[in-house]
A = this chain, B = another copy of it.
């Protein structure tokens, strides 16, 4: 069975697999200063944004990623007020962060302004909090931003990056995590999108090591489904400063005043269960 030209396909070259979505129309394409941005209408996945030919976000399944990148880390910090998002140009992470009434300010530091402008046009639902007075949209280098941040000034850092090649490579390094550690206050927490547990064990192992080397006492990977990303199984990894990553404001999570599609307190607790092979990976 061969797919026609009305399909978008991403090949996962290191795993000999590919995932495709059926398209109905190309809505947009441009070469920004940083990357090639395209938007398609799909048959069943809503609108789709790709960057350099890779899935970035679809209307149908982005709730999984965006909710898991935000609510676990925000309910783990005892009282998050100041939140920094590195990357996250589609604004879906920002939207979830600002659902938390205790958050006083959220800075989204995306290097490519065009990603956000394109998202405003084609994913308005992800951008519905962009005009919240607590939202600060900066278009700048996230690595520099964290290096320049005042020590102890941030409660939560969310690294909503692309894969660790090209511009995002520096976001997976000990030097970057050291800058984050310095900028985070006591009980500060960072979360980093951390690829597929099935395909990217090496990256995950190195990420845990880099976070610990940077000073974080605890690290914890959370697992969740994400159909458009390689293998359909994805993860994010948290690191904490003087706090237990398996304690969270569970009552607040159960009584949250906002709606989610995937996340709840049971899902939070479930997400950190480590498969046998993953335990062996981290220990080995």
Contacts and interface: CB of A to CB of B under 8 A. Distances in A.
A5 interface: yes
Interface in A209-250: 223, 225-227, 231-233
A198 B276 contact: no
Contacts of A263: 275-276
Interface in A29-49: 42-45
- The oligomer's copy count stands at 2
Interface residues of A, number: 51
Contact of A225 (B61, B233, B267): B233
Nearest to A12: B44
A15 B2 contact: no
Contacts of A20: 3, 9, 17-20
Interface string A180-212: 000000000000000000100000000000000
A269 interface: yes
Interface of A: 1-5, 7-11, 14-22, 42-45, 53, 61, 198, 223, 225-227, 231-233, 259-264, 266-267, 269-277, 279
